[in-house]
Chains A and B, each alone.
Chain A
Amino acid sequence: MKRASSTRLVVAIPYLWLLALFLVPFAIVVKISLSQTVIASPPYRPLLDLAAGWEGLRSYVAHLSTDAYALLASDPLYLTSYLKSLHVAAVSTVILLLIGYPIAYGMARSPRRLQPVLVMLVVLPFWTSFLIRVYAWINILQRDGLLNEVLLALHIIDAPRAWLASDTAIYIGVVYSYLPFMVLPLYAALEKINQSLLEAAADLGCPRWKAFWRVTVPLSRTGIAAGALLCFIPIVGEFVIPDLLGGSKSLMIGQTLWTEFFSNRDWPVASAIAVVLLIVLVVPILVYERLQRRAIEGTD
């Protein structure tokens, strides 16, 4: 079928936009991760001088350096940072699943009329600013904050505790901020489950907990996978939450990248951190895309 040129533009415009502003920038990150830091503007060398033609390209390639990657491999600071990010993301994802599943399950079992309202109630905090929601927790967790006051009043603790600047605070902030991302895909999967399957299980004498475990959970697999990836991947690169709620002892990789870039002005190392992070995340991202394509388009 031959298409009119106006139809072709519908594909071409967003395609070119994403190529220029999403894919090409990654190539530039890779390019700069292979250069060296200098005190200049821009703060890295070698620069690719296309005006010098073939000579320029040859001298550019000759001066490429893997120093940034060598630093990443030799200084344990970076490895610790990556491991901490993966650890925080994995633990938070498990906590999110444990908290999110009962909420999504409750939503899916609510009367039909009530469900859109519940969905909106879960989505609404997602529309309010991320920064504001993290900030709200500073109000609560600080030394003379509400959490300490409530715990003191209930005589659970004797002296105010430092909740802020700890990993606990990071987990609270992450779980709080990402909860809607976990609940919504789970709800979407649970809501589709045919109730007659559970009735059949009950008729055949299967106890409710067992029916839940053998029927409901397997049928919500795609929701579990989508929710887990939708949380895990961005949490690994999270910056705002650990920066505002976490301590300064060990940084997550998003913070390390930020510091290298903004404080140390070391663009090659910041780029190398981004490249390695992308390599770490490429498999989860591809799996997520596959799920997303299947969920939306019904194809593989």
Chain B
Amino acid sequence: MRRLSAFNVVSLALGLAFLYLPIVILVIFSFNASRLVTVWGGWSLAWYRELLQDQAILDAAWTSLRVAALSASAATVLGTCAAVALVRMGRFRGRLLFAGMVYAPLVMPEVITGLSLLLLFVALNVDRGFWTVALAHTTLTMCFVTVIVQSRLIGFDRSLEEAAMDLGAPPLRTFLTITLPLILPAIAAGWMLAFSLSLDDLVIASFTTGPGATTLPIRIYSQVRLGVKPEINAICTIMIAVVGVATVLSSLFAKRSAIRRERGALAAQV
């Protein structure tokens, strides 16, 4: 029997308050009519209107969205392959190095990853810009996708796959018709994480970008260095709203598909 003690409740409440209070304050002040960030001048959408006229921010946001969509999609394909390789291929040659290269970027300081990728692009004499940032983000985020898909692959029952193989389905077909639908929620979650990590990254993008490919975090960072501005609060609020809605929707989706799966399993037993 689990019982929450008063200590448990208080530490949970304080912990969540600590996590959310700064974000809530930021959101509230984005609707502040006053230019002074700390003086409350009544509710207003002035900073959102101003944002719509800031072409530089809009361009940067568009660049970021394109980089994030492209790199998240590439990272999802690569990361899923890597997860399948790690879970299903047994002990192939060089597996230890492979696993090492998958897990290391999760903790590697970004300045090191950013610098090394930039030096690679310079050595290859590639023009830096949109594509180099997308390549860099793909490399970083594929490792996160791998970890998410990997834990899903380990967690599920292999008997369905084995049944398909026994009935003569070739490996690729088994993967596409049996495995892929089962791990789809993890793949979707991996894509979303990759997308938001790419949208978020400042350091690696700063190293690997070139003229004409300013991403949103780079733009925000250069503004923030000049001081707090209400427009920044507004753009941050929009980003928080987008991520919040997407996360809640995806968790509802995952729950629905889990319920449907359980019902299917029940029906099969009856």
Give which listed residue, A6, A139, A278, A298, contacts B233 with CB less than 8 A: A139
- In the assembled complex, which residues on chain A have CB atoms less than 8 Å from the CB atom of B110? 234, 237, 239, 254
Interface residues of chain A: helix, strand, loop or mixed (majority): helix
Given A29-B116, A296-B147, also A131-B139 (CB < 8 A): no
In the bound complex, do residue A135 and residue B224 qualify as a contact, i.e. CB atoms below 8 Å apart? yes
Give which listed residue, B7, B86, B196, B221, contacts A102 with CB less than 8 A: B7
In the bound complex, do residue A103 and residue B98 qualify as a contact, i.e. CB atoms below 8 Å apart? no
- A145 within 8 Å of B by Cβ? yes
- On chain A, the number of residues with a Cβ less than 8 Å from chain B's Cβ atoms is 91
- In the assembled complex, which residues on chain B have CB atoms less than 8 Å from the CB atom of A254? 109-111
- In the assembled complex, which residues on chain B have CB atoms less than 8 Å from the CB atom of A125? 19-20, 23
- B residues 158-178 in Cβ contact with A at 8 Å: 170-172
- B45 within 8 Å of A by Cβ? no
- A residues 1-29 in Cβ contact with B at 8 Å: 4, 6-7, 9-11, 13-15, 17-19, 21-26, 28-29
Closest to B83 in A: A14
Closest to A238 in B: B109
In the bound complex, do residue B115 and residue A135 qualify as a contact, i.e. CB atoms below 8 Å apart? no
Given A103-B11, A103-B12, A233-B109, also A289-B22 (CB < 8 A): no
Interface string of B1-24 (1 = CB under 8 A from A): 111110111011001101110110
In the bound complex, do residue B8 and residue A106 qualify as a contact, i.e. CB atoms below 8 Å apart? yes
Give which listed residue, A14, A111, A130, A139, contacts B78 with CB less than 8 A: A14
- B123 within 8 Å of A by Cβ? yes
Closest to B101 in A: A18
- In the assembled complex, which residues on chain B have CB atoms less than 8 Å from the CB atom of A21? 117, 120, 135-136, 138-139
- A109 within 8 Å of B by Cβ? yes
In the bound complex, do residue A237 and residue B94 qualify as a contact, i.e. CB atoms below 8 Å apart? no
Interface string of B54-75 (1 = CB under 8 A from A): 0000000000000000000000
Closest to B207 in A: A261
How many whole Å from A178's CB to the nearest CB in chain B? 11
How many whole Å from B78's CB to the nearest CB in chain A? 5
In the bound complex, do residue A237 and residue B9 qualify as a contact, i.e. CB atoms below 8 Å apart? no
Closest to A148 in B: B38
In the bound complex, do residue A103 and residue B15 qualify as a contact, i.e. CB atoms below 8 Å apart? yes
In the bound complex, do residue B220 and residue A136 qualify as a contact, i.e. CB atoms below 8 Å apart? no
In the bound complex, do residue A25 and residue B202 qualify as a contact, i.e. CB atoms below 8 Å apart? no
Task: State the B residues within 8 Å of A (CB).
Answer: 1-5, 7-9, 11-12, 15-16, 18-20, 22-23, 25-26, 29, 36-38, 78-79, 81-82, 84-87, 89, 92, 94, 98-113, 115-117, 119-120, 122-123, 135-136, 138-139, 142, 146-147, 150-151, 154, 170-172, 193, 196, 199-200, 202-203, 206-207, 217, 220-221, 224-225, 228, 232-233, 236, 239-240, 243-244, 247, 251
The 5 A-B residue pairs whose C-beta atoms are closest, nearest first, are A237-B109, A25-B116, A102-B11, A103-B15, A14-B82
